[in-house]
Amino acid sequence: MSIPIVSICIHIRNGIEFLAERKQSILSQTFADFEVIVVDDGSNDGTREFVDEWAKEDARVKVFTGPGEGLYPGWNDAIQRASGEFIAIAPCDDTMDSLFLERMLTAFERFPDAGIAQCPLRIIGDEAQAKQEWWDRDTPLNRWRPTLCEEAHLRYAPLDGLLHLSGRSVNISMTQLLIRKRVFEEIGYFESKWGGKGDFEWNLRATLRFATAYVPDTWASWRIHSGQATDNSTPARVRENAAVREEMLRTGLKKAFSEGVLKGGLGWKVRVYSFFKVFRLTKLLKRGLKKLLALVRAELRTFHKTVSNFEYGVLDWIFRLSSYVRK
């Protein structure tokens, strides 16, 4: 059997309620050269029987028993078993457009420097309308440069990583991403120590080093419901996670500077094109790191209430000092 181009990775525990819809969204893909890696963490609601039957019907589906340690170890297990060049993390309660894989792969052809492809989110489930308005208005790209979300473009590293200084993730859900497997091999996998913010921390590390291609003409859905594992959008959860976010930013940026991740994230074309701007940006960031972290701490205390001048200032500052977006 030939090696598939894409590995779709599913971690699941008692997810039978939405699993048929997830399966249908995978089978409807116009790009069919993929495998499905299912890691089941001890389901007892009929989930295991469902995925075992799916594997009997479709040779592309492989089912494994997971480590039983939760979401992020389950994702890591699936990714390490994957053989494809590209990884799609598919939460069992979400779905995607039938053109998702085809158009995300086309973006990698157009932007070969990208390590990550990102598409818009469609919010489904409980409070879908309110959450959709939040996605359309309050996520970093929509908030500061809304026109970027209307056309395909490439954002060079470390731009998206620096956007995490606002305390908000550019990639709201892993379901909206297609990722080169080598990104995981180079920066590492998800860490469980951050609780439900492990994907935020991984995105911080990944986007400091790898460029992101934006694909506006497809979508993935993010389902809001009471049983989901990573809903961190409510004010209460934001307040609870403030200290965790701050420590992640501190650790992630310190690691980036000490290990040269920022430099590694810049392709040679960008280093030549914007050497002086990058040098100035790095110098300013090093000099003002303590001040920036203090501002982040102050911002996180009021994260759930207002959009602070700090956020606008940092983003405008980054865009002025760097030439990191190519259309």
> What tens digit of pLDDT does each residue of 270-327 get?
444 344 444 444 455 555 555 555 555 554 444 434 444 445 455 555 555 445 566 6
**What's the one-letter identity of residue 318?**
I
Q: How confident is the model at residue 224 (pLDDT cuts 50, 70, 90)?
A: confident
Report pLDDT digits (tens) over 113-162. Answer: 999 999 998 888 765 555 656 556 666 776 667 777 788 999 888 888 87
Distance, CA of 238 to CA of 154 (rounded, Å): 29
- For 14, the token pair is 């008692």
Cis peptide before 158 (omega within 30 of 0): yes
Distance, CA of 197 to CA of 210 (rounded, Å): 20
Distance, CA of 211 to CA of 119 (rounded, Å): 14
- The length of the chain is 327
pTM of the model: 0.78
- For 108, the token pair is 């990698």
Instruction: List the chain domain ranges.
Output: 94-326
Output 251 or 32, whichever has higher pLDDT.
32
Q: How confident is the model at residue 226 (pLDDT cuts 50, 70, 90)?
A: low
Beta strands, E only, the chain: 6-12, 34-40, 61-65, 86-89, 114-118, 121-125, 153-155, 177-180, 211-214, 220-224, 325-326
Residue 53 has pLDDT above 80, yes or no: yes
Supply angle C-alpha 320, 249, 318, rounded to 5. 0
pLDDT, averaged across the chain:
78
Output 148 or 204, whichever has higher pLDDT.
204
User: Which residue, among 236, 222, 25, 196, has the nearest Cα to 126 in the 3D structure?
Assistant: 222
The predicted pLDDT at position 308 comes to 44
Residue 216 has pLDDT above 60, yes or no: yes
Output 176 or 292, whichever has higher pLDDT.
176
Give, for 202, the enclosing helix (H) or strand (E). helix 198-209
**What's the one-letter identity of residue 180?**
R
User: Which residue, among 154, 76, 79, 163, has the nearest Cα to 116 in the 3D structure?
Assistant: 154
CB 116 within 8 A of CB 211: yes
Distance, CA of 81 to CA of 271 (rounded, Å): 35
CB 196 within 8 A of CB 166: no
Give, for 229, the enclosing helix (H) or strand (E). none
What ranges in 10-139 are assigned the alpha helix state H?
16-27, 47-57, 71-81, 100-110, 128-138
Distance, CA of 16 to CA of 30 (rounded, Å): 25
